[in-house]
Amino acid sequence: MKKLFAVIGDPIAHSMSPAMHNDLFQTYGVDAHYQPLHVKRDSLKEALIGLKAIGIAGFNVTVPHKETIIPLLDKLDPLAEAIGAVNTVVNEDGEFVGYNTDGSGYLQGLLTQWPTIKGKNILIIGAGGAARAIYFTLAQAGVKRLDICNRTIQKAEELINDCPFHVPSAAIGKEEAEINLSDYHLLIQTTPMGMAPNIDSLPLSLHKLQTDALVSDIIYNPLETKILREARNKGAKIQNGLDMFVYQGALAFEKWTGIFPNIERMKNIVLNQLGG
């Protein structure tokens, strides 16, 4: 019988995941279908009961459910537990098991552009759910320094204190980050600044950016945000959020099927969805 997979979230209509995963099921001959499901914040518990009753094989979790789903799952992968967020669920013999592939998806995508992360000074801009997954993953990967610049400094401090993996870190504000920007080899932009409706906003000034730095934005729509455009104009290397998106999806697909899929194929599907 055809297996059912899904992505749950609110809003969900514009998710690129159904096109990406349905193409992969067809490509790899997996008899399955991936469905976007609109699940509102206060309907999550009932939705999970329904999904279990119909025997869903697995699903992705997006805003606003990544954190609130945790107490409703049967088991949790230790990294997802440490991060405090789940983006992938696998139905393992009738039990819903939660994983987080955002951080490892980000790291795998980063390594395709920037093979050496050891010994590097990194600044993460933002301290939300995505920043948390990326911080925990990079802290484990052994970078030299991992600072966080956030509008609400207290949230950055909490994130650093919550992380079980030690790395030299400071929670800083925008002004301090701008003054010391030349210290960083990599900037990772994780706020929604640069995405509609804030397409003309910059999270911080790049005045002191090193010209050989890499600026990585996890937004992929638009493919080039204002911060990436400014970094490119300064001669720095840039990376958009498409790599993270396809790698987190590839890692979820691997958990569901045992197959690690073709990344270029996934990128092309998303680029087609974005209008070429």
52 is catalytic: no
| Whether the Cβ atoms of residue 146 and residue 135 lie closer than 8 Å to each other | yes
Task: Report which residue type is found at 13.
Answer: A
Q: Pull the structure tokens for residue 256.
A: 């569901």
Q: Which one-letter amino acid corresponds to residue 235?
A: G
248 binds ligand NAP (CB under 6 A): yes
Q: Looking at 8, 90, 193, 250, which residue binds ligand NAP (CB under 6 A)?
A: 193
Q: Using CB under 6 A, pick the residue from 9, 58, 103, 129 that binds ligand NAP.
A: 129
- For position 159 contacting ligand NAP by CB under 6 A, the verdict is no
Distance, CA of 245 to CA of 101 (rounded, Å): 10
Q: Which residue is nearest to ligand NAP (CB)?
A: 128
Site string for ligand NAP, 2-41 (x = CB under 6 A): ----------------------------------------
CA dist 135 and 165 (Å) reads 10
- Hey, which residues between 82 and 121 contact ligand NAP (CB under 6 A)? 102
Answer whether 246's CB lies under 8 Å from 20's CB.
yes
Of 10 and 55, the one with the shorter C-beta distance to ligand NAP is 10
* Residues that contact ligand NAP, how many (by CB under 6 A): 25
Catalytic residue among 66, 155, 174, 255: 66
The CB-side HSE value for 66 (13 A sphere, CA atoms) comes to 18
